[in-house]
Amino acid sequence: MDIANLKQTAKAMVAHGKGILAADESSRTIQKRFDIIGLTSNPQTNLNYRKMLFTTPGVEEFLSGVILYDETIRQEIDGVAVPKYLANKGIIPGIKVDKGAVDLPNFPGEKITEGLDGLGGRLKEYASMGAKFAKWRAVITIGEGIPNTCIESNAESLARYAALCQEANLVPIVEPEVLMDADNTLEVCREVTSQTLRVVFDRLKAHKVILEGVILKPNMIISGKKCFKQAGSKEIAKATVETFLEVVPKEVPGVVFLSGGQTPEEATINLYEINLIPNSPWQLSYSYGRALQGEALEVWAGKEENMAMAQKTFSQRAKKVSLARQGKSS
């Protein structure tokens, strides 16, 4: 384990003014995205879409890294392997390594993320292909009587994954996502998020994970989509930063928020308000998927003649989010 290199990479992943693009949609998920524009997912179409994003002129000004899917990391752009293409632009390539969430036996409504079997070997392969970091997502569902066992189960998996990553000299992005799909208030989200992060960091420490070589990818503290009272951006920012100050160790170099179903504008404004709060011990950045890509996807619509306009749309959103990450309004 090269601890110095892990720390250096983690810091570069949260470089000033930059964030991480989550372009790691599974085959099933990217088809859901393509359904919006009436497109059928296949390896070439998926690559065409991601090529549109990755080749956007100047996007490296706003992106420190990109999370890839297994299919994508094995593909090429203009004859160059995707990880090398990104690295040549100064963008750090990473890889999603979990196998997705499934029902947790005996606990209805709760999920557990799979993918630990054989993970050590897969991480070594990805590292040999140029990946510098990895990502593992765990989902925590809020509902009647839940979450329950899923917090501890997923925290243990996240810790084991993180330890294996660092052993392979990959920085682990640890992503415990409290979903915003229910009717819970902001206060309930705060309680569940706090509990989740406490357990996650407890397990990370138990597995001797080097926190200076970890990036946290959490949800913001936000009202459930179905809640009758939706918290405003200032309230979201205050609750988020206060909660993290209570439970996230200062050794962690950075927090890259997920957008979690927020609209691009909501995710941008909330990040802006979070970064207006002074004296945070971490870099407070972003690792957005749909909130960065969604507008460009609809403009692109699978058509070559739309590429320039789609890239312009993508660049404009990336710039807005970059400014928000610096506490600057666009």
pLDDT tens digit sequence for 10-45? 999 999 999 999 999 998 899 999 999 999 999 999
- Judge whether 175 counts as a catalytic residue: yes
Q: Choose, from 132, 217, 273, 320, the residue flagged as catalytic.
A: 217
Looking at residue 330, what is its pLDDT? 78
pLDDT digits (tens, 9 = 90+) for 76-95: 999 999 999 999 999 999 99
| Angle, CA 192 vertex, CA 189 and CA 197 arms, to 5° | 120
- Exactly one of 25, 110, 156, 175 is catalytic; name it: 175
Hey, which residues does 101 pair with through a beta bridge? 113
> Any catalytic annotation for residue 11?
no
Four-residue CA torsion sign, 238, 244, 245, 246? positive
Q: Assign 206 to helix, strand or coil.
A: helix
Please state which architecture CATH assigns to domain 3-325. Alpha-Beta Barrel (3.20)
pLDDT in tens, 249-291: 999 999 999 998 899 999 999 999 999 999 999 999 999 999 9
Domain boundaries in the chain? 3-325
